[in-house]
Amino acid sequence: MKKLLTMLMLASLWSVQAAAQAPAWNEIKGELKTALEAKADAVRGEAAFEPCQGCHRKDGSGRVSGAYPRLSGQHAKVLMKQIADIRSGRRSNPKMEPFIGDHVLTPFEIADIAVYLQALPISTDNGKGPGTGLAKGKQLYDKDCADCHGAKGEGNESKFFPMVAGQHYRYLLREAQLIRDGDRRNANPDMVKVIKPYSTSDLEAVSDYMAAFAPPKKQ
């Protein structure tokens, strides 16, 4: 019994130490820091984005199927972080890796692409949900999501919270499922805790509601 208690105490200690050593989900260092500090240029970004158009489309509107997200109008800092996370292995995206590897793009080109995409008009033809979960989705969103993603899904660039307004329903649903199940490793831990108890119908409802948000108008 004494040996078992010792082993449990050591396992607990190792768990605490591992958590303490794990990088914060929004830690700014390395390539992300370089990209954020770069003097980005949208004209250069347009040229650098050309190889990405086959998936994300020329206007950055992505795919209604949810296979590829809408990138147009998304906050530049959010885009920089997600690309940096994929390159570092913190977020898994095998399809995208060949197009954004460090042998293909520099951190400065990542910044250029991000500011270019942020300036693009946001399409209103995003993939919508079935429309049957809007009431339930609003209740969940207002309670659990609005503080971070904004009352109208506008997000918060300074905190790396993405704009969800105008995003495709199927993409929102897929990513919410990955976050809930712990399969999107770069997710905000606070969000993971919030949606961990969500059922599939909860995720469908809140994704349905978010996809129905009208994109914010450009300033």
Residue 109 placed within a domain = yes
pLDDT given for residue 7 in this prediction: 47
Q: Are residues 157 and 100 in the same domain?
A: no
pLDDT digits (tens, 9 = 90+) for 18-62: 444 556 888 999 999 999 999 999 999 999 999 999 999 999 999
- Domain boundary residue, one of 61, 87, 119: 119
Predicted confidence band of residue 219 (pLDDT cuts 50, 70, 90): low
Higher pLDDT, 67 or 102: 67
Q: Are residues 115 and 141 in the same domain?
A: no
Residue 11 placed within a domain = no
Residue type, 93: N
Q: Are residues 195 and 165 in the same domain?
A: yes
pLDDT given for residue 3 in this prediction: 56
pTM of the model: 0.88
Q: Are residues 115 and 148 in the same domain?
A: no
Q: Are residues 92 and 159 in the same domain?
A: no
Structural contact between residues 182 and 192, judged by C-beta atoms closer than 8 angstroms? yes
pLDDT given for residue 1 in this prediction: 55
Q: Are residues 142 and 96 in the same domain?
A: no
Residue 8 placed within a domain = no
Structural contact between residues 180 and 140, judged by C-beta atoms closer than 8 angstroms? no
Domain residue limits at 141: 134-211
Predicted confidence band of residue 181 (pLDDT cuts 50, 70, 90): very high
Number of domains in the chain: 2
- Domain boundary residue, one of 69, 95, 119: 119
Q: Are residues 59 and 111 in the same domain?
A: yes
pLDDT given for residue 216 in this prediction: 86
Residue 70 placed within a domain = yes
Residue 67 placed within a domain = yes
Q: What's the CATH number where 164 sits? A: 1.10.760.10
Q: Are residues 141 and 115 in the same domain?
A: no
Q: Are residues 75 and 146 in the same domain?
A: no
- Domain boundary residue, one of 89, 119, 149: 119
Residue 191 CA, distance from chain mean position: 12
Residue 217 placed within a domain = no
What are the C-alpha distances in Å from 205 to residues 127, 164, 173, 213? 14, 14, 9, 13
Residue 17 above 80 pLDDT? no
Tokens standing for 188? 């905000």
Residue 98 placed within a domain = yes
DSSP per residue, 15-64: HHHHHHHSPPTT---HHHHHHHHS---HHHHHHHHGGGHHHH-TTS---T
Mean pLDDT of the chain: 90
Q: Are residues 101 and 61 in the same domain?
A: yes
Residue 127 placed within a domain = no
pLDDT digits (tens, 9 = 90+) for 124-149: 899 999 999 999 999 999 999 999 99
Q: Are residues 155 and 106 in the same domain?
A: no
Mean pLDDT over 174-195 rounds to: 95
